[in-house]
Amino acid sequence: MTLRIWHQSFTVLSDLPAYVDALKARIGEVVAPGTQVVLHGQIPNTYPSEYPGTDLAYNFLYRLHELQWAAAAREAERQGYDAMVLASIPSPMIRELRTLVNIPIVGYGETAFNLAGLYGRRVGMLFFNVSRRDFWLEQVRQWGVAERFAGIAAAGVSFDDVVAAHVDPSRLDGVVQTIVANGEKLAQDAGADVIVPGEMPMNLLLAKAGVHKIGGATVIDGIATCFKMAETLVSLQRLAGMSPSRRGYFHAQPDPARVEQVLDFYGLAELGRRIPQA
């Protein structure tokens, strides 16, 4: 099966060349022959630093940054992509994006949590920044998986630590050991038998290090699950005609002409063309 997938990151990928290289290598290992993945990130200078965490601490700023994801989804469909992967655990605007376009949209968090039920009963998350605890309680309810949520815990490392480990192989073992130690504590204290390494750079680092279990708990590989799910949803759309529901308020598809009018009114009509390719 030949298909093209638009990858979207919440980071500005041009700021993180080592992470881009690691992404390309891992994606190349997991996708099927004939699948082409093109990496995209946020528009340069979106954030005041390489890490968007400062803005993510505030719901209003986070919601404004989500507009780039809506623009990217529309651009992906316009350019003829077969699917889109939201490579960020909150999967910004995923429910809304599915009403805007007719290609499959796969989100890291939603996919990880739903698949976690096939690997265990309780799923916990490791994060650089645990300040958004309230956000995650609401998010897992939206995904319909709150009953299996074991909570979040600090990974014991920072974004800079993880990026440095991608750049400098000599730092890989130390960073991974710290993450694993905190994951073992999460498994023990919260009873998590599945662990999601929240931020994708950390998830990718664990995959690079071959960490598949922590304290006996299964570790979700975000890249593998997202891209295999995207391939599966494209297959189901082609073979069985399956696509997202259009029934009810949360799924109804707005008139495309009206979407264009509203975007133009707010000066956002051309935002998608500014989304950079890595």
CA–CA gap between residue 30 and residue 223 (Å, rounded)? 8
Q: CB–CB of 203/179 below 8 Å? A: no
200's tokens: 């994708």
For 234, the domain range is: 3-274
CA–CA gap between residue 51 and residue 197 (Å, rounded)? 17
Buried b (16+ CB within 10 A) or exposed e, 237-276: beeeeeebeeeeeeeeeeeeeebeeebeeeeebebbeebe
Say how many C-beta atoms besides its own lie within 10 A of residue 57's C-beta.
Answer: 13
Side chain identity at residue 172, one-letter code: L
pLDDT reported for residue 57: 83
Vertex 30: Cα angle to 235 and 197 (nearest 5): 105
Domain containing 16 — which CATH number? 3.40.50.12500
Number of domains in the chain: 1
Q: For the chain of 278 residues, list the mean pLDDT of each consecutive stretch of 10.
A: 93 92 95 97 89 83 94 97 96 95 96 95 90 85 91 92 92 96 96 94 94 97 96 96 95 96 96 94
Q: Write down the residue that tokens 């295999």 correspond to.
A: 228
pLDDT reported for residue 49: 78
pLDDT reported for residue 131: 75
CA–CA gap between residue 141 and residue 163 (Å, rounded)? 31
